[in-house]
Amino acid sequence: MDYKGLFAKSLAPHLGELSVEKIYRFIEQPKQLSHGDFAFPCFELAKIKRMAPNKIAEDLATKVKETLFEKVEAVGPYVNVFLDKTQVGTNVIHEILKKKSHYGDSNIGNGGNVPIDMSSPNIAKPFSMGHLRSTVIGNSIALLLKKSGYQPIRINHLGDWGTQFGKLMVAYTKWGEEKKVRQNPIEELLKLYIRFHEEAESNPDLDVEGRKWFKKLEDGDEEAESLWKWFREESLKEFNKIYDLMGITFDSYHGEAFYNDKMAEVLELLEEQNLLTESEGAQVVDLSEHDLPPSLIRKSDGATLYTTRDLAAALYRKRNYDFDQSLYVVGNEQGLHFKQLKLVLEKMGYDWAKDLHHISFGMILKDGKKMSTRKGKVVLLEEVLREAIELAKTNMEEKNPGLENKEEAAKAVGVGAVLFHDLKNHRNNDVEFSLEDMLRIEGETGPYVQYTHARGCSLLEKGGFNGFNDTMYLEEDQTYMWPIISELLSFPNAVQRATEQFDPSIIAKCVVDLAQEFNRYYAHVRVLEDETKKQQRLALVQAVVLVLEEGLRLLGMKAPKQM
């Protein structure tokens, strides 16, 4: 039930000049519950009516009547509405218990396809913190879209092409050992790559050779191609360990190389429309009318570029998926690239260029500095995740030594801590990396929410919850239960906003707020003590447990029953 909508509808007959939709958009949710559950500001109306806003509010407050409203009052220029706590509380609990994980589902997306370009690490290079962010944010957005009725398509646009492969082949054929690479692909390949650059400083022949090898690869030379395939496979195996830990799968692994035979068409189309101009021997699309540097399409040696592949990929995705929207979850630093990409597509006459969205995000910092994956300072992500799991396990052994399924729970908490820490702030903010902070049980952390959920589960278990059918939820003292109900009520709207704004932090905030209100309730209300009220209270606990679990799921996290 949409109570905000109900308020809008009950206002409408008294506001002849405004449509229900418009009124709906005006309605606010006061920061403090003492100001009611919803508030309608009368400023705009005052302008139209040429009346004092306070006067309008007073007048409306006497007119609005609805059985589900406990009180309607004018406070200054606002009409504040207080919902009937018992009726509304009972309704929302019944709704959640019935819909379970489907509470908050909608069909806004109407089945429309939304490809999400996410994760997209580079072959033979370490999986960076940026790729972690892209993976985690992209996955949560995919889950949100699905809940809102879209069909998300997770695409791992692997960086599996480019001149660096030529260099790597030179290094491998000169200094590499197959066994070592098989054992530790990323580390060994990175070492080879670094050695190549070190030696190339004093030996320019290496670069020449590198270009030769890449040319061989482009021309389909057997040896070059089998090395490329092997590097790709070994790297993917390594990346998959990280995806497995996080429980993330992809619908497509079409990386940059997939578009090799699809770029000729892009070049032809650009040529046909006279969009290509020469600049220092290279071919570019001029974007000076947008005050942007030109988009580089083909280098002077004929080689195509990152942008050319992305143009081919955009076309391919439109044809293949006929998307409603096409997302690219990639760091802020590629902002210019995606602006150019959209503008070039627009110049090519594709009106769907407007449906491409760069879902940008900030950096992960360590002690205020960017975490580097270059040279010796590689932070191997799999190790980070394993360390988080170990730490979670140690914490658990202290708190709950007899716990069954310790491994499973530690994995859920360790990985969840990393995910939550990433998602709790708006994605465009930089994130300071600290395992200790992530794993704290107090404060706005994943483990805090997970612990709250487990606490709820244990109450249900101990109390023998009976399912609560057709009963009213009555609580004489509504001080601690109402803030919980209010959070539960706002969940569907939070899902909608998070989906529309591609912003999982809205959900993270929602589950933290709900967990906090629930813990406050738990500290003041003896849930299991009073036999006559026990089942009603457990029904509230069950609703909280369900919404916490669903909220965590939307962030890509698990909610263990015990921890």
Interface ranges with ligand ARG (CB under 6 A): 117, 120, 122, 157, 159, 310, 313, 328, 330
Q: Please, what is the minimum distance in Å from the beta carbon of residue 144 to ligand ARG? A: 20
Q: Please, what is the minimum distance in Å from the beta carbon of residue 307 to ligand ARG? A: 9
Residue 504 · residue 141 · CB < 8 Å? yes
Comparing CB distances to ligand ARG, the nearer of 103 and 161 is 161
Q: Please, what is the minimum distance in Å from the beta carbon of residue 502 to ligand ARG? A: 16
Comparing CB distances to ligand ARG, the nearer of 117 and 517 is 117
Please report, for the chain, how many H helices and E strands are present, in that order: 21, 13
Comparing CB distances to ligand ARG, the nearer of 317 and 411 is 317
Nearest alpha-carbon partner for 508 in 468, 451, 448: 448
Q: Please, what is the minimum distance in Å from the beta carbon of residue 305 to ligand ARG? A: 11
What is the number of other CB atoms lying within 10 angstroms of the CB of residue 226?
10
Tokens 């975490």 belong to 371
Comparing CB distances to ligand ARG, the nearer of 117 and 234 is 117
Comparing CB distances to ligand ARG, the nearer of 58 and 346 is 346
Comparing CB distances to ligand ARG, the nearer of 159 and 166 is 159
Q: Please, what is the minimum distance in Å from the beta carbon of residue 359 to ligand ARG? A: 11
Q: Structure tokens of 170?
A: 């030179």
* Calpha distance 74→81 (Å, rounded): 9
Comparing CB distances to ligand ARG, the nearer of 332 and 516 is 332
* Calpha distance 414→418 (Å, rounded): 7
* Calpha distance 197→175 (Å, rounded): 13
* Calpha distance 306→338 (Å, rounded): 11
Strand partners, 431: 364
What is the number of other CB atoms lying within 10 angstroms of the CB of residue 111?
9
Residue nearest to ligand ARG (CB): 159
Residue 7 · residue 60 · CB < 8 Å? no
Residue 88 · residue 489 · CB < 8 Å? yes
Q: What is the distance of C-alpha 282 from the center of its chain?
A: 38
Q: Please, what is the minimum distance in Å from the beta carbon of residue 266 to ligand ARG? A: 14
Q: Please, what is the minimum distance in Å from the beta carbon of residue 364 to ligand ARG? A: 14
Strand partners, 432: 365
Nearest alpha-carbon partner for 465 in 515, 537, 519: 537
Q: Please, what is the minimum distance in Å from the beta carbon of residue 63 to ligand ARG? A: 55
Return the beta strands (E) in 334-429 as ranges. Answer: 356-359, 364-366, 369-370
Comparing CB distances to ligand ARG, the nearer of 171 and 313 is 313
Specify the 3-state DSSP secondary structure of 32.
coil
Residue 488: its H or E element: helix 481-500
Q: Please, what is the minimum distance in Å from the beta carbon of residue 332 to ligand ARG? A: 12
Specify the 3-state DSSP secondary structure of 143.
helix
Comparing CB distances to ligand ARG, the nearer of 24 and 328 is 328
Q: Please, what is the minimum distance in Å from the beta carbon of residue 432 to ligand ARG? A: 22
Q: Structure tokens of 78?
A: 């606002």
Residue 559 · residue 553 · CB < 8 Å? yes
Upper half-sphere CA count for residue 308 (Cβ side, 13 Å): 28
What single letter denotes the amino acid at residue 33? L
Comparing CB distances to ligand ARG, the nearer of 262 and 553 is 262
Comparing CB distances to ligand ARG, the nearer of 313 and 548 is 313
Q: Please, what is the minimum distance in Å from the beta carbon of residue 35 to ligand ARG? A: 45
